[in-house]
Structure 1
Amino acid sequence: MKKAVSVIALFALGTTIMNAQISDSLRRVVKMDGAYNFRDTGGYKTTDGKEVVLGKVYRSDAINKLSDRDLVTFKNKKIKTVVDFRGTEEAKKAMDRLPENTSYLLCPAGSENLPNVQDMAKLLKEKNFLTGMYGEGGLPYFGERYRALFVQLLTLKPDEALLYHCTGGRDRTGMASALFLKILGVPQDVIESDYVASNFYLAKNPTMQQMYSGLSKMSGLSESQVKAEMELRPELIRTFFAAINKKYGSIENFFQVEMGIGPKEVAVLKQKYTK
């Protein structure tokens, strides 16, 4: 009985955290016809009393189905650089639809051998398969995957914006957002709220519903069980940071060792992306 009460309490807490973020994120959402999780990363307060600037750095799910109207929005946002965390074949099957003269960088580290649907169905039965992706299993890829993003952020022109994305805009993109907000000094609880908000936005994506249905049939689990296993939870982003801290001692050391971004570069990032 106590266990059941605890589970309900945790679920309620998670829902409260997410709902608070959702209501606060309305000014960050970029409405697109062909994307569901397209958001501005700015607007969050940092621990030193500053705020992450709006209109400079965006995150999204797949953008291969952007409409003509979306491309106008894209251009109006002054997005000139796109960083794609998908694998090579993954990106080829659903090529980004971008305005002309947009700089495109593919950063597939850790994405080349993602589990297929059959593998995912098996892993779902083992429970907590996402933990490996966020923890020590994904650790060898984090530096290579995100290095180009932060190099671009350091050199981004004052009158331009940048977008990074993957397929769902939740896992690989979620970790990128967590690193970006963390190095700028955004509190952990706010980072977690921003992270789990993808659950809400992607619930409207029919592709996600099709995936849950397919995985349910292949795994023998109910759709609600599949969804519970696939849903983003604050502890996943904590696992991500814990794995980095265990190996490097701190997030700052990870930036310096794996991406060549030391105190001077961090200061530049804070100067450019907070006010």
Structure 2
Amino acid sequence: MKHKLIKSLGLFGVLLALAGVSGPTASAATTAAVASTAKQTVAKATKTSLLVDGSKQEDLKKTLVAMHNTQNTRDLGGYQTADGKWQIKPYQLLRSDNLSTLDTDDIKTLTDKYRVKSIVDFRTPGQVADKPDKNIPGASETYISILGPHAFSDGGGDGDFYNQRLDFGYPAVTGYRQFLKMLATTNGATLYHCSSGKDRTGIATVLIMTILGMDKQTIVNDFMLSQYTGRTVKIDWISKYYYDVEKNYGSLQNYITTSLEISPATQARLRAKYLVSTDGKETPYPAPYVPSRPNPTPVVPSQPTPDPKPTPEPQPVENGAADKGVKPKKKATKVKIVKTKKLHTKYVYHLKAHKKWFKDAHLKHAHGYTAKHSHKKWRLLKSEKVKIKGKMKTYYQVRDHSGHTAWILKSYVTK
């Protein structure tokens, strides 16, 4: 139990736990020695993961959009890829804080100069209701709550917040997935924002710039520019994000492909859509190759084709016998969800090994996943009574600590 508690607290929790090991009878020298060892351990563990803040206040002017009532609206246009050959198109991707206090001139800037056609709001439903965006004429509004139903520690910005909510939190994974896929298909400029434009919006920008090919230092510098707009951001927050992602997935690029499920083809479309050359010609980035089907060669008859013989009408089948060579159509399996119930349980459950589980509530088991890692702990989210071929069955939706969910038969779940 103690080991799990220390692990959940992260690096700073290790420092606190180790510093509190000594009992009332321990000497001051022993306590000091333990604390010193803990500090060395933390310093050694974070030395390789802590990034460097290379941002400068004058760099903010290159990206900042002049607005009266927002302080953190920026154009990603001009950022170059790691090889220096390509750059993000201007007037296409805007990151911002909330748009609840825009005035007439601000709205005119977004509509006339930047021609924004899509607004993506990462705030929670409560935050949206409290400070709704001003309407941008001609732009659609999409709401994707990256933190789920409630904000909780939103804006705190500590390392645990980034670990628990912005990289492995289920709403963040599904929300950023929806957002990135949306960027690949929308037309016109897109503005995406949260409350202050630094945490949820900052990580969204990290993901976009990673896909488009910017190097890590350039991405980190953009993240840190929010500090020059009156916001609090710290280098160890983004360091913690990279550290946790790379520890679990090897690289942020692999995290985007596997956890967020942004396919290489979708990433290629994003690069083709938002990148142009840096040689002054603004040559579009090469579009992904899509093999085309060859047109069939028309057949020209050498002589007139005789009229086809009339097809005889089908004769009725006697004694219920089927025609040879004709297979009867299989009836579709009838699946009906009868009842859904949310569960609020404090208990932790295990999944029995080698049992099938499903990705969606409608049991479309296109993937025959098996719960191989039954030692993982899962929490119950909801149950559904499902009628399959006339038989009633109960399925549980379960979620692990990383936010992954699964549907599995009730009988395959143990407390």
TM-score by length of 2: 0.50
Cα contact 1:144–1:258 (8 A) shared by 2? no
| Residues 33 and 66 in structure 1, CA contact (< 8 A), matched pair in contact too | yes
Higher RCO, 1 vs 2 (CA within 8 Å, ≥6 residues apart): 1
Q: Is 1:60–2:60 an aligned residue pair?
A: no
Task: Tell me whether 1:81 sits opposite 2:109 in the alignment.
Answer: no
What SS class does the counterpart of residue 206 from structure 2 fall into? helix
Distance (whole Å) between structure 2 residues aligned to residue 47 and residue 116 of structure 1 = 34
Give the residue type in structure 2 aligned to 1:142. A
- The match for 2:266 is 265
Distance 1:95 1:185, change over 3 A: same
Q: Alignment partner of 1:261: what SS?
A: coil
Q: Is the alpha carbon distance of 1:116 and 1:109 closer, same or farther for their aligned partners in structure 2, counting shifts above 3 Å?
A: closer
Whether 1:106 aligns to 2:143 is yes
Inter-partner Cα distance in structure 2 for 1:173 and 1:111: 15
Distance 1:116 1:198 in 2: 19
Contact (CA 8 Å) 2:60, 2:228: kept in 1 or not?
no
Residues 85 and 111 of structure 1 are in contact (CA less than 8 Å); yes or no, is this contact kept in structure 2? no
How many Å separate the matches in 1 of 2:215 and 2:60? 16
Q: Which has the higher strand share?
A: 2
Q: Is the 8 A contact 1:168 1:202 kept in 2?
A: no
Pairs within 5 Å for 1:1-275 = 14=53, 17-19=54-56, 22-49=57-84, 50-76=86-112, 77-115=114-152, 130-138=158-166, 139-140=168-169, 141-157=171-187, 160-202=188-230, 231-275=232-276
User: How many pairs are equivalent?
Assistant: 223
Given that 1:29 and 1:40 are in contact with CA atoms closer than 8 Å, whether structure 2 keeps it comes out as yes
Q: In structure 2, how many angstroms separate the alpha carbons of the residues matched to 1:102 and 1:162?
A: 9
Letter of the aligned partner of 1:30 in structure 2?
A: V
Q: Secondary structure at the match of 1:162?
A: strand
Question: Hey, what does 2:36 align to over in structure 1?
Answer: none
CA shift for structure 1 position 148: 2.2
Q: CA deviation at 1:116?
A: 6.5
Tell me, what secondary structure is at the counterpart of 1:269?
helix
Is the CA contact (8 Å cut-off) linking 2:80 and 2:214 kept in structure 1? yes
Q: Is the 8 A contact 1:184 1:274 kept in 2?
A: yes
The aligned residue for residue 390 of structure 2 is none
Letter in 2 for 1:81: S
Residue 192 of structure 1 deviates from its aligned partner by 1.2
Q: Is the CA contact 2:146–2:200 (under 8 Å) kept in the aligned structure 1? A: no
Report the 3-state secondary structure (helix = DSSP H, G, I; strand = E; otherwise coil) of the residue aligned with 1:51.
Answer: strand
Whole-Å Cα distance in 1 between the matches of residues 200 and 74 of structure 2?
A: 15
**Cα RMSD (Å):** 2.4
**Alpha-carbon distance, 1:156 to partner:** 2.3
Cα distance in 2 for residues equivalent to 1:116 and 1:253: 28
1:62 Cα shift?
0.9
Deviation at 1:153, TM superposition (A): 1.1
Partners of 1:155 and 1:196 lie apart in 2 by 29
The unaligned stretches of length 5 or more in structure 1 are: 4-12, 204-230
Unaligned runs of at least 5 residues, structure 2: 1-38, 40-51, 277-415
Between structure 1 and structure 2, the one with the greater Rg is 2
Q: Distance in 2 between matches of 1:201 and 1:193?
A: 14
CA offset at residue 137 of structure 1? 4.7
Alpha-carbon spacing, 1:145–1:18, altered in 2? closer, same or farther (3 Å) = same
How many Å separate the matches in 2 of 1:137 and 1:78?
32
State the shift of 1:48 in Å. 2.2
* Pair 1:18–1:255, CA change in 2 (3 A): closer
Identify which range, 103-112 or 129-138, moves more after superposition: 129-138
- Partner amino acid, structure 1, of 2:242: F
1:52 aligned partner, one-letter code: I
